[in-house]
Amino acid sequence: MADSSFDVVSKVDRQEVDNALNQAAKEVSQRYDFKNVGASITWSGDTIVMVANSAERVLAILDVFQSKLVRRGVSLKAIDLGDKEPKASGKEYRLEGTLKEGLSQENAKKLTKLIRDEGPKGVKAQIQGDELRVSSKSRDALQEVIALLKGAEIDAALQFVNYR
């Protein structure tokens, strides 16, 4: 019997992020507490930029944006906000976030080690570029691995694809 396998990937639906950003921008432009404070959330190339006249308001914009992402099924781990501290320049505070695509080598290694140490016997994990291929003769073992990885503390949004 051939091995069954699946791939662990970290992909972001750019369209859903874009929709969430547009909804957040609309809410920010309409909300009373954001009037006349220079509050905005926009794309700048591949970076999401949030701007307001105080750190608290920038974090409030982030909160609005994150609630829109969650509602659209986008993992908050898919956005890298650095240290999450709004930077001040003059009277303006900004917070920038980038989309994280693909598994980093570091995360892929963490996952393979986790599968090796805690996963069922007979399961193989191979790093392939920015993906991880997990294979085994037993489909039940693969289900166990998926459950294990869903509970893992990894700083990436994981999806499981190509299950065969």
Mean pLDDT of 21-26: 96
At 1 the pLDDT is 56
Checking if the pLDDT of 11 tops 80, the result is yes
Q: Into which CATH architecture does domain 4-11+103-161 fall?
A: 2-Layer Sandwich (3.30)
Distance of alpha carbon 117 from alpha carbon 114, whole angstroms = 5
Q: Under CATH, which number does the domain 14-99 receive? A: 3.30.70.990
Cross-strand pairs, 55: none
Distance of alpha carbon 9 from alpha carbon 77, whole angstroms = 13
At 74 the pLDDT is 92
pLDDT tens digits, 151-161: 888 888 889 89
Measured in degrees and rounded to the nearest 5, phi and psi for residue 111 equal -65, -45
CATH 3.30.70.860 residue spans of the chain: 4-11+103-161
The SS3 of residue 68 is helix
pLDDT tens digits, 121-142: 999 999 998 999 999 999 999 9
Contact assessment for residue 92 and residue 38, using Cβ atoms and an 8 Å cutoff: yes
